[in-house]
Chains A and B, each alone.
Chain A
Amino acid sequence: MLLGISILLICQLCGEILVRLLNFPVPGPVIGMVLLLIFLIIKGSVPKTVQTVSDALLNNLALLYVPAGVGLMEHFKLISKDWLVISVALVVSTIITMAVTAVVLKFLTEHPIDKENPYD
């Protein structure tokens, strides 16, 4: 458990350091994710302790967005100034984006994936 947390934190830390040193335009944790993936590929398996910690985190991923989400209260004033444009733009654009992405990917992959889905 502690080892698992440490491995995740070390990857996160290295990610933050790399991002700052190389002036990358992405957040540290995204690079941390890439580093952990490389580590897992080299190791060839997921250590049980890392699996336990990551399950605990990812099973509660929604909770982790709540504090940032409550931050919306800070932006009410800015949003209310242009609320109509903003609402229309966000709803229309999110629908189009999700539809385009899903349709393009579905078309390109000719769905071989589902047959092997072990979670079905």
Chain B
Amino acid sequence: MTKTTTDLSSLWVYLAASPLLSLTVTLVTFQGCVWLNKKLGKSAIFHPVLLSMAVLITFLKVANISYDTYFKGAQFVHFLLGTATVALAIPLYHHLDWVKRMFFPLMIACFTGATTAALSAVAVGVWMGASRETIMSLAPKSVTSPIAMGISEKIGGLPALTAGLVLITGAIGCLIAAPLYRLLKIRHDSVKGFALGLSAHGFGTAYAFDISQLAGAFAGLAIGLTGLISAFLLPLLLKSLGI
């Protein structure tokens, strides 16, 4: 009996530290969540990514596995995020005619959107009396996380906090998109996708691909444009406001 317990616990010690377990758990959890999401009528509150995050965080806390250990396995999935970003060029290429035709509206919408994203977050922060650090960490929250963390550092925020806020923003974007578009009578997939990618970066883009390939293409375009514009614009904008 004692021997079996030792065997099992040493097996657990081995598994908990191995990349195999976290990789397998990630894939299985996600597929389970996609299935559950379908059963629940594809509701945005139970978005597969949000569900998976909740399940996996709970699992890691209960099993007392650190994020670093988990990431050793999950990094194989995470790595593909960069490659998938490159692959966004393909839907973009297929819809190049529309992008060309909409070039100026897209640029203006992106400029307006990126400014709104930063200023509205900063305004709420100032109004509610948040610390300067928190306000600066909030400013780049709609930008894709690698760019957002860089901006945050530059303007005096906390990059780690910004990384967390970017994730929550992405989740909020997926939750509000459908009701907001219904309310504003937004029917065009290009517009839906672009606004999703601009305000909710990669999470929004994954959600946009659920709408259509066209929406996904415009969301991918929005991530790149918003990142570029914000990286140059945000530090100047905040400085000129004297915040």
**A contacts with B: majority SS:** helix
- Proximity bits, A89-107, B CB within 8 Å = 1, else 0: 1111111111111111110
Once A and B bind, how many residue pairs between them come within 8 Å at the CB atom? 324
User: Digit string of A15-40 for contact with B (CB within 8 Å is 1, else 0)?
Assistant: 10000000001111110111111001
Residue in B92, B134, B231 whose CB lies within 8 Å of A82 = B134
* A33 and B86 contacting across the interface, CB-CB below 8 Å: yes
Chain A, Cβ-Cβ closest to B172: A94
- Give the A interface residue count (CB, 8 A): 78
B202 near A102: Cβ-Cβ < 8 Å: no
B199 surroundings in chain A (CB, below 8 A): 94, 97-98, 101
Q: Quick one: which of A54, A92, A99, A101 has the most chain B CB within 10 A?
A: A101
Q: A2 contacts the other chain (Cβ, under 8 Å)?
A: no
**Contacting residues of chain A (49-66) with chain B, CB-CB under 8 angstroms:** 50-51, 53-54, 57-59, 61-66
Residues of A close to B163: CB separation below 8 A: 71, 75
Question: Which B residues are closer than 8 A to A by beta carbons?
Answer: 26-27, 29-30, 47-50, 52-53, 56-57, 60-61, 67, 70-71, 74-75, 77-78, 80-94, 96, 98, 101-102, 104-106, 108-110, 112-113, 116-117, 120-121, 124-125, 128-131, 134, 138, 141-142, 144-147, 150-151, 158, 160-161, 163-165, 167-170, 172-173, 176-177, 180-181, 184, 186-192, 194-196, 198-200, 202-203, 205-207, 209, 212-214, 216, 220, 223-224, 227-228, 231-232
